[in-house]
Amino acid sequence: MRTYGQYCSLAKALDLLGDRWTLLIVRELLLQGPCRYTDLRRGLPGIATNLLADRLRELEAAGVVAREEAGPPIATTLFGLTPRGEELKDALYALGLWGIPLMAEGPAPDDAFRNLWTTMPGDLFLRDRTPDRPPITIEVRAGEDPMLIETVDGEVRLRRGSAEDPDAVLSGSPDMILAVITGGLDLAEAEARGLCLEGSRSSVSRVLPERAAPASGAASG
């Protein structure tokens, strides 16, 4: 492992986490929870198999990641964050928040996107403004698999999946969905630019943030 050779906590953290892909591996384990190697690789488009294996070994050796042998019906190895690894959540979310203005111009033509990555901006920006009202479910379609935004006991949660009868459905490009989630665009403006809203507009407005500054056009996952 390369080292900066500095007796500084930030330098020591970067000795371990500063290599390419390392923090994105941690991101996937935060968002997916314990998962199979194949699921982890699917969430990291572009990573080489041998590099992922190397990074996982380094994170295991540092006590950030642990593996366990799952019994039937999974019957395979699962990788997950240790309590020490889970302590990185606040740092990753802070970096994701800092990166929001960098996404305002939209994705590059070859940028990959996974719906699960909307979890981070959703956690950062969405709030239930009327928690005393009945819970709602909003289905979001922006990529390969739908996501659900749900209000549960006054909190907003995002998870993979679809609903048989959601209160509303949002469909659009990833940058449009992320701009709405982060407050970079209001609903009316987003719809004028191609966002499709089916169902209850008030349900969607209930969880969206106030309009953000113009530079915050989208969010990082």
What is the tens place of the pLDDT at every residue in 106-154? 899 999 999 999 999 999 999 999 999 999 999 999 977 899 999 999 9
pLDDT confidence of residue 84: 98
pLDDT at 94 over 70: yes
Alpha carbon 51 to chain centroid distance? 22
Read off the pTM: 0.90
pLDDT confidence of residue 217: 43
Alpha-carbon distance 89 to 83, whole Å?
11
pLDDT confidence of residue 26: 98
Mean pLDDT value of segment 78-101: 97
Looking at the chain, the whole-number percentage of residues with pLDDT higher than 90 is: 87
Nearest to 29 by CA among 9, 53, 56: 56
Report which of residues 99 and 105 the model is more confident about: 99
pLDDT at 89 over 80: yes
pLDDT confidence of residue 216: 41
List the chain domain ranges: 9-98, 107-207
Mean pLDDT value of segment 42-58: 97
CATH 3.30.1050.10 fits 107-207, yes or no: yes
Q: Which CATH class is domain 9-98?
A: mainly alpha
Instruction: With beta carbons less than 8 A apart as the criterion, state whether 85 and 59 touch.
Output: yes
153-206 pLDDT, tens digit per residue, is 999 999 999 999 999 999 999 999 999 999 999 999 999 999 999 999 999 999
pLDDT confidence of residue 219: 47
pLDDT at 6 over 50: yes
Residue 77's alpha-carbon distances to 40, 64, 67, 70, in angstroms, are 12, 16, 7, 6
Mean pLDDT value of segment 28-45: 96
pLDDT confidence of residue 211: 66
